[in-house]
Amino acid sequence: REYRAALETAPDELTCWVVMRQAPPLPFLPAEWHGKEVLVLAMCYCGDIEAGEKATQKLRAIGTPIADVVGP
């Protein structure tokens, strides 16, 4: 519900897709999550960086992220 609500008001410059996968052994992910199923919100904002930060706020606030690597 939160995902749908966040995208209903999102600007056209923002796209987001959901990926379910096993967490890879990357240094920015907690080791206890490596190899476990995780849900990834992959997003792209095509526009001004400040506007992109604002546009992604609702999506980035969903749930309890184990990592947040969204950036320019």
Domain ranges of the chain: 2-60
The pLDDT assigned to 14 comes to 97
The pLDDT assigned to 57 comes to 94
The pLDDT assigned to 72 comes to 87
pLDDT tens digits for range 12-70: 999 999 999 999 999 999 999 999 999 999 999 999 999 999 999 999 999 999 999 99
What lies within 8 Å, CB to CB, of 53 at 6+ separation is none
Q: Please list the helix, strand and coil fractions of the chain in percent, rounded to the nearest 5, in that order.
A: 30, 25, 45
